[in-house]
Amino acid sequence: MAMEAKEQVATATAGHTNGAALNGYHDSPSAKPVREPLVLGNKTIHQITEDICGVAEQKATPKFWAALLASMLVAGAGIGALTYTIAVGIGVWGLNNTIGWGWDITNFVFWVGIGHAGTLISAVLFLFRQKWRTAINRSAEAMTIFAVINAAVFVLTHTGRPWLDYWLLPYPNQMKMWVNFRSPLEWDVFAVSTYFTISLLFWFTGLVPDLASLRNRAKSKIAKAGYTIFSLGWTGSTRSWHHYEFAYMIFAGLSTPLVLSVHSIVSFDFAVSILPGWHTTIFPPYFVAGAIFSGFAMVLTLMLVAREILDLHDYITLKHIDNMNKIILATGMIVGYAYAMEFFIAWYSGNPYERFVFINRATGDYAWSYWMMMSCNVFSPQFFWNAKLRRNVWFTFGLSIVVNIGMWFERFTIISTSLHHGYLPSSWHYYTPTWVEITIFVGTFGLFMTFFLLFAKYLPIIALGEIKSIMPGAQPSHHHHDDHGEHGDYYQSGHYVDGADAVKKA
Amino acid sequence: MSTVAQGNVIAVMGDFKDPNKVTAAAKGIHEAGFTKFDIYTPYPVHGLEKAMGMPKTSLPKFALAGALFGLASAFALQWWTGAFEYKLNIGGKPLFAPQFGTPVFFELTVLCTGLTVFFTMFGYLCRLPNWHSKYQYDSGFQAATDDNFCVVLEADDPRFTTETAQALLAKFGAADVRIVHETLEHD
């Protein structure tokens, strides 16, 4: 039955004459594109459905199963180490009386930060009408959710008795006690849980119409049932799209300040304390910039791999990579500025404790970590001033990993240097992680990749509905005037070029 | 499609591929006085809802209500627990102050707005989940999640007759104008 339907649809599509008009920019050589096209290969709307749904519909390759198995093994090792920690206690970590936050909080901040690029791409770039985001927003949002899950792993186990973690929530209890809203740690509970919930709703809302596309094409009973349930019975009704589009905009409007608030509040965990090196007003913007910086690097790492394996070259183009590299360069400079400003203020404040912490940071026991951070985060992105390097896939891939390493070291440097030499020299100490902490951290990468591989295989990895809506000729031509974004794409449309306005523009 | 048994006429459908033509059709059908019609599209077509004569969405009102509820509950929660029910002196800090309350004010406002928007939009305004549509066996209707703009004139519209509906769709250049019957049994 379904087969028959598909054939019918296919013939219907072929029969329609303006399949060609949708990619009609070859028909009108007089209209030169102002900008590079967002999707290469002059695709029709139907081809986009075929390409993207095809990824989810093709049989999983041995390569996929091998990658999934490897990821699950790594995740399994992490879960093993996590179980050991919970069973024995966090004494199995390398923490000591002086250094109470080590890899646990470093990794928490690292993973939460990774998530920020996803929200930035899906929400902030949406509000700024950056249409290039459509090729990458779905997977970046998915990455956000998986990263926040990993962050939760650390923040929930570092409490020491994770089975009592519900004590973090304000609920009426027999002890007649309530949580302390004056603590930034409590703000963090609200910030991270809100962030996770809103990111999940935003992601799911975006998925619903695309799941409906998969549902209408699904052949196996299991796939059909799964896509049917989760697409909620979406039909593509304009009466629904109308509300849907508004909801999407509200979600983008909510997520934009939310993403800024989450890492600001994470930075309050440090800034509200009175420890030299932590107690600084620069922390919120500095943390947010760092989060976006590391998140974009992670998006690039994942997308470059997905682009190769799933053959998405026409959708994730060099233009996308170029744009993301520019954001990495810009946020890398902000982070570099923050590093410099911290040193300047330490000197300018005249506070001897503050000054000591920063001299110690660059020359003390953890200087190796500090210089690792500096070279990865400040020096290496400078290569991206070069347009050729920004468009070099292998170079970008390498540098995205370097940036992630650097951003991990940033969090480690901040946490360990301030703690290990505090106000009392008699308490000074050094911290090295144990195999348990290392295994948990490596394990979270396994978990992350497991989730990402499953997502890439079974869900539409590119936002179908959104990418279709930005194709040349996909929108009525009278609508060009209120579009200030990627004009070039509209001018490529067959309809538009035929119109009188095109003459004006040309 | 191999439908086993068919019942009454439920709609007349026509397909479009051109966003300009479908917008013109939407305008024409609306101007002809039809109210029970819908256009199924693979992505939101700009201005189509205006052409169909739809009123503005009521979603912002719900969103505002959700936001106010979130803000009020964050205020009540922090004040009642800290300054009323469980007064605990911590470093001489005030029992309640808007300064330290701000992060939770903000987070709960966003959380409640987001949840309200999500459930109102899908559950109330779009009437989802609804896992059955009476048109779901029509291949043109199915193709609306691929690349088809499927215009559906519903039979329970007071102005509906198969002839007027067919003529209207044909006038605006719809392809494959067809009468759709209720599917009673399906294999």
Q: pLDDT, tens digit, for every residue of A437-476? A: 999 999 999 999 999 999 998 999 999 999 999 998 899 9
CB A210 within 8 A of CB A460: yes
Residue of chain B whose Cα is closest to the Cα of A22: B18
Name residues 439-478 of chain A within 8 A of B (Cβ): 464-466, 468-469, 473-478
Q: A263 to chain B: nearest residue by CA?
A: B103
Same domain, B26 and B68: no
Q: Is the pLDDT of residue B170 over 50?
A: yes
**Separation CA B42–CA B28 (nearest Å):** 21
Of A91, A101, A90, A93, residue with least CA distance to A422: A101
Contact A205 B118 (CB under 8 A): yes
Q: In the predicted model, is pLDDT for residue B78 greater than 60?
A: yes
| Partner-chain contact A469 B43, CB within 8 Å | yes
Min CA distance, B159 vs chain A (Å)? 20
Tell me the sheet residues that pair with B9.
Answer: B181
Q: What is the pLDDT of residue B4?
A: 65
pLDDT number for residue A479:
52
Residue A401 burial class via C-beta count within 10 angstroms: exposed 0-12, middle 13-18, buried 19 and up: middle
Mean local confidence (pLDDT), B20-35: 95
Q: Give percent above pLDDT 90 in chain B.
A: 92
Query: What is the full DSSP assignment across A2-40?
Result: HHHHHHHHHHHHHH-GGGTGGGGGGT-TTS--SS--SS-
Paired sense of beta strands B37-40 and B3-16, if any = unpaired
Look up residue B65 and give its two tokens: 């209500």
- A vs B, Cβ pairs < 8 A, gives 245
Are residues B104 and B72 part of one domain?
Answer: yes
**DSSP helix/strand/coil, A217:** helix
What is the C-alpha to C-alpha distance for residues B52 and B46, in angstroms, rounded to an integer?
Answer: 12
How far is it, in rounded angstroms, from Cα B45 to Cα A141? 24
Q: Which pLDDT does position A33 carry in this prediction?
A: 54
Q: Is B53 inside any structural domain?
A: no
CA distance A377 to A286: 13
Band of pLDDT at residue B183, cut at 50, 70 and 90 = confident
The predicted structure's pLDDT at residue A478 = 62
The pLDDT tens digits of the residues spanning A142-159 come to: 999 999 999 999 999 999
Could you say which of A229, A243, A474 has the minimum Cβ distance to residue B43?
Answer: A474
The structural domain count of chain B equals 2
Domain covering A43-495 in this structure, CATH number: 1.20.1630.10
Q: Which of A76, A75, A78 is nearest to A439 (CA)?
A: A78
In this structure, are B119 and B68 located in the same domain? yes
Tokens of B18: 């051109």
Which chain B residues touch A238 with a CB distance below 8 Å? 26, 38-41, 44-45, 48-49, 52, 54
Q: Which of A9, A232, A254 lies nearest to residue B122, judging by beta carbons?
A: A232
Of the three residues B125, B153, B170, the one that is the final residue of a domain is: B125
pTM of the model: 0.89
Are B64 and B118 part of one and the same domain? yes
pLDDT at B38 over 80: yes
Does some domain include residue B180? yes
Pairing of the two strands B3-16 and B149-154: antiparallel
**Shortest Cα–Cα distance, A187 to chain B (Å):** 6
Give domain status of residue B54, yes or no.
no
- Whether residue B63 is found in the same domain as residue B118: yes
Is residue A240 within 8 angstroms of chain B, CB to CB? yes
* Same domain? B148 vs B169: yes
* Domain that residue B13 falls in: 3-47+134-186
Number of DSSP helices (H) and strands (E) in chain A, helices first: 20, 0
- Read off the pLDDT of residues B124-169 as tens digits, 9 standing for 90 and up: 999 999 999 999 999 999 999 999 999 999 999 999 999 999 999 9
**Helix or strand holding residue B72 (H, E):** helix B59-79
CATH number at residue B28: 3.30.70
What is the residue extent of each domain of chain A? 43-495
Residues B174 and B143 in one domain: yes
Q: Judge whether A487 and A35 are in contact, CB under 8 Å.
A: yes
Output the pLDDT for position B3: 57
B6/A446 Cα distance (integer angstroms) = 53
Quote the CA–CA distance of B66 and B63 in Å, as a whole number.
5
Average pLDDT over residues B72-96: 95
**Residue segments in chain A with a per-residue pLDDT below the cut of 50:** 1-30, 480-506
A174-201 exposure pattern, b = at least 16 Cβ within 10 A, e = fewer: eeeebbbbbbbebbbbbbbbbbbbbbbb
- B17 and B36 in a common domain: yes
Segment 18-77 of chain A within 8 Å of chain B by CB: 18-19, 21-22, 44-46, 49
B153 is a domain residue: yes
Return d(Cα A226, Cα A458) in angstroms, integer: 10
